[in-house]
Structure 1
Amino acid sequence: MTSPKHYDLVIYGGTSAAVTAAVQAKRSGKTVTIVCPETHLGGLSSGGLGYSDTGEKEVIGGLSREFYHRVWQHYDSQEAWQWEEKEAYGNVGQSTPAIDPEKKTMWIFEPHVAEQVFEEWIAEYEIPVHRDEWLDREDGVVKEGRKIVSIRTLSGQVYHGRMFIDASYEGDLMASAGVDYHVGRESNATYGETWNGVQTGVLHHNHHFGVLDQAVSPYRIPDDPSSGLLPLIHNEAPGEFGAADHRIQAYCYRMCMSCHPDNRVPFPKPDDYNPDTYALLARIFQAGWTAIFNKFDPIPNLKTDTNNHGPFSSDYIGMNYDYPDGSYATRQAIIEAHTKYQQGLLYFLSNDSQVPEAIRQQMQEYGLAADEFVDNGNWPHQLYIREARRMIGEFVTTENELLKRRTTPQSIGMGSYPLDSHNTQRYITAEGHVQNEGDIGIYMNGPYQIPYGSLVPKRAQCCNLVVPVCVSSSHIAFGSIRMEPVFMILGQSAATAAALAMDHEICVQDVPYDQLSQQLLDQGQVLEFETPACDEALQTF
């Protein structure tokens, strides 16, 4: 074991929030390090999610907005357009142009460009990053009373800090420090919500079997239960409507594909590939579904950010329940299973005769982008951990704050994406048909505030930890908060609060909000945005 390392602020995790927190700490004059299991920084922002879920861009400020400005600077150069003419790409965007000349931001980008921006920040601010360092979750967190003194990784490295930030997707530091958290869906009754808990019969988005003109039987021989279930259908009751359960949003990889003949790699056939895994998808095709390409969202240089779409897609529904609290070995097995499933799906769509010929031919025009994830077989290095642990902190943010039914105290940033949960299970209905459950999409009437209390643990549990990713929120509220631009906002706010706590030698729960909010405003953060409260006639998507 080497000598312990001492810093003002120790950040655990390699996400986008970790980077903005570290940059802000240096801007605040503090010594800081990032300690992370990852070898690549940026989480999903550099891991394939290039078609940013921005919501209303007016409330994206501070370092988060600076990130998208630096992306714009990259693409403003002709040299950035190797596989596509800059002018041909144009203003492709979600609801507003991707390229905004007035504000000089660009919201859609290639994975390696995002990683480059993060690494340039790290180099510019001379931030030490200790990669491939895994927290010893059993006894690697040393506390004196309510204060974390140091953390130790499995390699034996020890990092002392005055303050700590858990910026991981999993919340491992938070959990190991004895902070309360929740996994799964709370009941609607827990926080007086509508869109939490089991949501059987609720069919939002288009990721359910209601998009088909005919019901689909879950059995190998249609309508014959004695023939056995098709793969990837759960043979258990879905639960009572509105009730709590252990289920979490499905995970997937956001895949970066290329349709340029000189920059694509054929989809690999995974070891132990079994086309029977996709028998339900073949039945969906038989029912006439053809919308397979609706989420091949275009990013620069003839690439895609390909996401889940439809009743059977890249989401590996129900196969991640053990991930949040699982050991490193358990999580790795789940990650490998998701990789095998999703690579097999691409191979099936490109080659199997059960897939309509028109779809096969179009799939064969794509491949993995040859110039992305070059050290990982062109496969994304980050699984989309849409939800894992969520802290139960000083304040629990719920749909009631997001929908502005209740006032949000002490705003330290804003979000605006709709309430958004992916499916949590695939089950058999009372009528004997297959159906997905858990996918929720609710538009809100404008942006909402995120309270400081949702970033800090309960006072009695830890006094020098801030948590900007696994924030204290309900399942459905987290479904909106969990967007990458928001994580960058919260990372910066977390570091600002930690610096103030150090300056005043106080607990993070006692940071003076008037000073915190003023510093955040000085940094360009957006803390309020005038919008009316939502009524009950909410629009779904």
Structure 2
Amino acid sequence: MKPERITESCDLAVIGGTPGGIACAVRAAREGLRVVLVNHTQHLGGFITSGAGGWETPCDYLRSPLYAEMITGAAEYYRNTYGENSPQHRAALPNPDSRAHIERPKVEPRVAEMLFEQMVAREKNLTVLKGFYVSDAERKNTHLVSVTITELHPKSGAGETPAPQNLRITAHAFADATYEGDLAAAAGAPCQIGREPRSHYNEPHAGVIYSTERPHTPEHTRFPQDAVAGRLNLRSFPHATGPLRQPDSTGEGDSAVMAYNYRLILTKNPANRIPIEKPKNYDPDAHKKAGNGSYVPSLPNVIADRPNVVPNIPNEKIGWNGGRLIGPHNAYPAADWPERERISRHYLDTMLSLLWFYQNDPAARECDRDYWKDYGLAADEFIDNQNLPYEIYVREARRLVGRYVFTEHDALPVPALARIHANARTPVHPDSIATTDWPIDSVACLERSSGPGAHPDGIFFLAEESRPAQVPYRTLLPQGLDNLLVPVALSASHVGWGPIRLEPVWMQTGEAAGLAAALAQKHDTTPAALDPDQLLRGLADRRVMISFFNDVDPASPEPWIPAVQYLGTKGFFATYDARPHAPLTPATATCWVKSFESLLAGAGAHDASLAASTVVHALPADDPESSTIVTLAEFAAKLRTILRGRNLATHPLESAKRALGLRCSEPLPRAAACQLIYETLGAFLPFPM
């Protein structure tokens, strides 16, 4: 047995080399922390470097700095390697000629891994430990003291029996960025595996459900319709689910989670193709067990025979999203690593069996044989793993039960706002640190059916109803632990998990967790005790999208961007249209001044939801063509009235006014009004930035 070694203490220990974990570690390192990043395999990047083939998001915004580095880094790599406007370069960018979700940015797994490795290598404060998993955690009351990590596959010397090395890491703060929530579980944080009953959070799609497909009409072939019509700045999807089948949809809870699969990277290019061999553990019935996962289900006469693939990955590749074997995955979340690897191998054998069946078995459908006959494994991917992905696609495992639980209701428009305005927002969270944009969804959880016309148990895809949502900081905070952050297996119900579970969102929550850890250490406190406003302003100033708008690109250089992003978390906007360049009208000015006053009053005085409900009533009077507008002088006078009596050596309002560069008699644009409020509020922060 190799002797146990205690590492030197670090400032932040991040467990999980997922994209969210990398973002967490890199952000903290850039803020000056000494960081250790631990991953259970020898390859960083999680799902993105194990077959995703691209970034699954209908939103084209560069939503956070580190996510932007990955998108732009891939595009630059392909441009420099293959040329400007080459097929590879174009595939790495959102397709400007199509608003279909499938035309999102693509990247080869090998290129994504290269970029992640370069990202971590640039950080001198960051140490990466590969091939270790969490085996123990030590806590003292509400404080996590240390984590013990153990080699997953120890290497033996000549004549030696392999013995795993154990390392103990102590840190000021910890982050669990695993897909499985292993550190949270080891530390004793409350976690959930499976589906809550419908009654638990009053979610219509909770528990056992059988959904039906939303029908296509000549006028309605993509979802959401608001995106198709240009009222929502998102890409659209070719299908959506509709009503639930009753009474079979009982809403009962259970321990089932979304089905898993591998995402094979395949090509027809003979120069880069490895032929599919008959698997050693070939299952001739694989097509019966997992064949339904090969196709987008229940779309008769539309795309029923289209394989479920990610097309147009650079260099003539596709990512196959089939082989969803339903059932064995439910044992994975709570299993140890040897059992997880056995389950993963079963899924991989099933997928390879399915592909071999399509190519070789006379019983295969002709359409399957014709489509798959020329595909093989990409020879330049996963070259040290027989050209097979390093990890199974874990769609859902443990979920933290934290200080806030993100549910179905958080990704649907607020009913009271929707009754007044068709473009109403989802609930406003004053501690929002990220945004979702993927629909509320789940793939199948159990292999059972309620008969023809309905999906298997657990499937739903609310592409029509779902809207971009704010992710509260509280979802990262475990109950009873003050120095642990959980940016990946964060606190959400099974239904709420659908919009959360995408890598672009996790890169946001991970980067936010890294900044939170840095700010907590800087101010000698814990992540749980950190003032959320301090974190939000830090994120907004760094161009992290904490509020989604149709007309505000969070990565734009305009000086008012942080203000609009931040005030979007305070209820200043009831819809997804910020209209930053429209003139401020009296009705909205009155609402914003009232919110400014309550924000100045301090924690607990401002109700963001109430503010949004007030603003929505101002919208009918907020006509951009209105001749009644507010000037800079008039708005500043209203704010000055609220500031009267405060002892200030330098009046922040005056310096903020000068920064705008506007004449006092000019109409005040809405963005400039937000900037004026944001910068004035900054002078009263109870913390230095």
CA-CA distance at 1:174 after TM superposition: 0.4
Are 2:141 and 1:145 aligned? yes
Deviation by residue 1:91-115 (Cα, 9 ceiling, x = unmatched) = 4589744999xxxx98211000100
Question: What's the counterpart of residue 69 of structure 2?
Answer: 66
The question of whether the paired residues in 2 share the 8 Å contact of 1:267 and 1:368 is answered with yes
Helix, strand or coil at the partner of 1:514: helix
Looking at structure 2, the residues matched to 90 and 26 of structure 1 have their Cα atoms a distance apart, in angstroms, of 31
Question: What's the counterpart of residue 490 of structure 2?
Answer: 471
Deviation by residue 1:499-537 (Cα, 9 ceiling, x = unmatched) = 111122222222112211111112210111247679xxx
Are 2:492 and 1:483 aligned? no
Looking at structure 1, the residues matched to 262 and 363 of structure 2 have their Cα atoms a distance apart, in angstroms, of 24
- Give the 5 Å matches for 1:340-419: 340-405=349-414, 406-419=427-440
Question: What's the counterpart of residue 111 of structure 1?
Answer: 109
Question: What's the counterpart of residue 320 of structure 1?
Answer: 329
Q: Where is the helix percentage greater, Structure 1 or Structure 2?
A: 2
Looking at structure 2, the residues matched to 445 and 428 of structure 1 have their Cα atoms a distance apart, in angstroms, of 25
Which among 67, 79, 86 is matched to residue 76 of structure 1?
79
Deviation by residue 1:377-409 (Cα, 9 ceiling, x = unmatched) = 000101110000000000001111111424323
Looking at structure 2, the residues matched to 358 and 404 of structure 1 have their Cα atoms a distance apart, in angstroms, of 41
Which among 334, 348, 352 is matched to residue 339 of structure 1?
348
Deviation by residue 1:336-360 (Cα, 9 ceiling, x = unmatched) = 1111111111111111101134532
Q: Give the letter for the 2:110 counterpart.
A: H
- Give the 5 Å matches for 1:415-454: 415-429=436-450, 436-443=456-463, 444=465, 446-454=467-475
Are 2:43 and 1:47 aligned? no
> Are residues 190 and 45 of structure 1, via their aligned partners in 2, closer, same or farther at CA, if it must alter by over 3 Å?
same
The question of whether the paired residues in 1 share the 8 Å contact of 2:450 and 2:456 is answered with no
Helix, strand or coil at the partner of 1:494: helix
CA-CA distance at 1:88 after TM superposition: 4.1
CA-CA distance at 1:38 after TM superposition: 1.6
Question: What's the counterpart of residue 299 of structure 1?
Answer: 313
Q: Give the letter for the 2:185 counterpart.
A: A
Are 2:207 and 1:197 aligned? yes
Looking at structure 1, the residues matched to 128 and 346 of structure 2 have their Cα atoms a distance apart, in angstroms, of 29
Helix, strand or coil at the partner of 2:371: helix
Larger radius of gyration: 2
Are 2:32 and 1:29 aligned? yes
Helix, strand or coil at the partner of 1:56: coil
Looking at structure 1, the residues matched to 98 and 291 of structure 2 have their Cα atoms a distance apart, in angstroms, of 39
CA-CA distance at 1:183 after TM superposition: 0.6
Helix, strand or coil at the partner of 1:355: coil
CA-CA distance at 1:455 after TM superposition: 0.6
Helix, strand or coil at the partner of 2:461: strand
- Give the 5 Å matches for 1:116-127: 116-126=114-124, 127=126
Which among 2, 9, 14 is matched to residue 12 of structure 2?
9
Q: Give the letter for the 1:165 counterpart.
A: A
Helix, strand or coil at the partner of 2:134: coil
Deviation by residue 1:97-137 (Cα, 9 ceiling, x = unmatched) = 4999xxxx98211000100110001111132111111211x
The question of whether the paired residues in 2 share the 8 Å contact of 1:282 and 1:354 is answered with no
Question: What's the counterpart of residue 234 of structure 2?
Answer: none
Deviation by residue 1:255-302 (Cα, 9 ceiling, x = unmatched) = 1111111101111321131313324678999x9996143424221000
Looking at structure 1, the residues matched to 432 and 499 of structure 2 have their Cα atoms a distance apart, in angstroms, of 16
Looking at structure 2, the residues matched to 94 and 31 of structure 1 have their Cα atoms a distance apart, in angstroms, of 34
CA-CA distance at 1:159 after TM superposition: 0.9
CA-CA distance at 1:204 after TM superposition: 6.3
Looking at structure 1, the residues matched to 62 and 409 of structure 2 have their Cα atoms a distance apart, in angstroms, of 19
The question of whether the paired residues in 1 share the 8 Å contact of 2:146 and 2:171 is answered with yes
Deviation by residue 1:138-191 (Cα, 9 ceiling, x = unmatched) = xx2111221111111222111111100000000100001010010111122211
- Give the 5 Å matches for 1:129-168: 129-136=128-135, 140-154=136-150, 155-168=165-178
Q: Give the letter for the 2:473 counterpart.
A: Y
The question of whether the paired residues in 1 share the 8 Å contact of 2:403 and 2:474 is answered with yes
TM-score by length of 2: 0.66
Deviates more, 1:150-159 or 1:342-351: 150-159
Question: What's the counterpart of residue 257 of structure 1?
Answer: 266
> Are residues 529 and 177 of structure 1, via their aligned partners in 2, closer, same or farther at CA, if it must alter by over 3 Å?
same
List runs of 5+ in structure 1 lacking aligned partners.
207-237, 309-313, 535-541
The question of whether the paired residues in 2 share the 8 Å contact of 1:92 and 1:98 is answered with no
Looking at structure 1, the residues matched to 262 and 290 of structure 2 have their Cα atoms a distance apart, in angstroms, of 18
Question: What's the counterpart of residue 20 of structure 1?
Answer: 23
Looking at structure 2, the residues matched to 112 and 282 of structure 1 have their Cα atoms a distance apart, in angstroms, of 28
> Are residues 93 and 6 of structure 1, via their aligned partners in 2, closer, same or farther at CA, if it must alter by over 3 Å?
closer
Identity value in percent: 32
Deviation by residue 1:220-246 (Cα, 9 ceiling, x = unmatched) = xxxxxxxxxxxxxxxxxx975222111
The question of whether the paired residues in 2 share the 8 Å contact of 1:55 and 1:415 is answered with no
Question: What's the counterpart of residue 181 of structure 1?
Answer: 191
Question: What's the counterpart of residue 621 of structure 2?
Answer: none
Helix, strand or coil at the partner of 2:447: strand
Helix, strand or coil at the partner of 1:349: helix
Q: Give the letter for the 2:389 counterpart.
A: P
Deviation by residue 1:297-332 (Cα, 9 ceiling, x = unmatched) = 221000012213xxxxx1111221111111222211
> Are residues 204 and 352 of structure 1, via their aligned partners in 2, closer, same or farther at CA, if it must alter by over 3 Å?
farther
* Count of paired positions: 483
Looking at structure 2, the residues matched to 204 and 426 of structure 1 have their Cα atoms a distance apart, in angstroms, of 21
Looking at structure 2, the residues matched to 21 and 429 of structure 1 have their Cα atoms a distance apart, in angstroms, of 43
The question of whether the paired residues in 2 share the 8 Å contact of 1:7 and 1:162 is answered with yes
CA-CA distance at 1:80 after TM superposition: 4.5
The question of whether the paired residues in 1 share the 8 Å contact of 2:413 and 2:467 is answered with no
Helix, strand or coil at the partner of 1:21: helix
> Are residues 56 and 337 of structure 1, via their aligned partners in 2, closer, same or farther at CA, if it must alter by over 3 Å?
same
> Are residues 80 and 318 of structure 1, via their aligned partners in 2, closer, same or farther at CA, if it must alter by over 3 Å?
farther
Q: Give the letter for the 1:133 counterpart.
A: F
Question: What's the counterpart of residue 457 of structure 1?
Answer: 478
Aligned-residue CA RMSD in angstroms?
2.9
Helix, strand or coil at the partner of 2:387: coil
Q: Give the letter for the 2:410 counterpart.
A: E
The question of whether the paired residues in 2 share the 8 Å contact of 1:13 and 1:38 is answered with no
Helix, strand or coil at the partner of 2:499: helix
Deviation by residue 1:180-218 (Cα, 9 ceiling, x = unmatched) = 010111122211211221112444699xxxxxxxxxxxx
CA-CA distance at 1:61 after TM superposition: 2.1
Helix, strand or coil at the partner of 1:339: helix
Question: What's the counterpart of residue 275 of structure 1?
Answer: 284
Looking at structure 2, the residues matched to 160 and 331 of structure 1 have their Cα atoms a distance apart, in angstroms, of 27
Question: What's the counterpart of residue 234 of structure 1?
Answer: none
Q: Give the letter for the 2:108 counterpart.
A: E
Q: Give the letter for the 1:423 counterpart.
A: A
